[in-house]
Amino acid sequence: MSDGAGPPPTLRQAVRWAAAAPLRARWPAARVRAGYCARSPRQVLAEGELSFTAPCADLSSLVAARLADEGLAATLVLAGIRRPLSHVKFQCGLEVALDGETWVVGFGVSSTYLYRGRFVETRRRPWVFRAAPARVDPDTPFLAHFEPDGRSGVARRVPGYDLERDLAWHARRQGWLRWALARRRAAAEGRAARRGRLPEAGGRWG
């Protein structure tokens, strides 16, 4: 049950567990191309790490699978992102209804988000799609709940999205300096305590 002030303990524990389960690592380009938003929860846990630039699909799938094991349902969310001077991207997250309230679960490069509310369309996030599978299969990648071919099908949902361009962008951002700065931000207690963010959930970094 929720204490009325913060997230229900079951949800908070599942989100913290997922944030810390895989190591956030720098991946070579070939591994980015093979694994980016393409792995199932079981694969993520077996491999034990993820590309630090793209945690949202992997970690959201871990939370959804963990909640399913505890008999709780999550709504999977895919949102398209459109910003000036940048290519079209997407983000993954969850909406979880517990104790009469809905909670947003989201993962950034250096932060974990858990707050009351829902994903809403905005100028920079004009597309929001939801999937509510009867069962979260630990062998099914997050995006396969939206399109049968997973990440290859995102372009059918999100206008302007280009998978090849997105893969190249993530591959270019695997440098040591970006990784070190992201790790430093994840460890900053003041930053983690900001509204909507979950403290002590910045992930494990090598």
Residue 61 lies in a domain: yes
Residue 72 lies in a domain: yes
pLDDT tens by residue, 111-156? 999 999 999 999 999 999 999 999 899 999 999 999 999 999 999 9
By residue range, what is the domain housing residue 71? 9-205
Domain count, the chain: 1
The amino acid at 62: L
Q: How far is CA 80 from the centre of its chain?
A: 13
Residue 140 lies in a domain: yes
- How far apart, in whole angstroms, are the C-alpha atoms of residue 139 and residue 46? 11
Q: How far is CA 107 from the centre of its chain?
A: 4
Residue 2 lies in a domain: no
Query: Pick from 32, 55, 39, 44: which is nearest to 172 by CA?
Result: 32
The pLDDT value recorded for residue 1 is 41
CATH for 118:
3.10.620
- Contact (CB, 8 A) for 40 and 140: yes
What's the predicted TM-score (pTM) here? 0.94
Residue 188 lies in a domain: yes
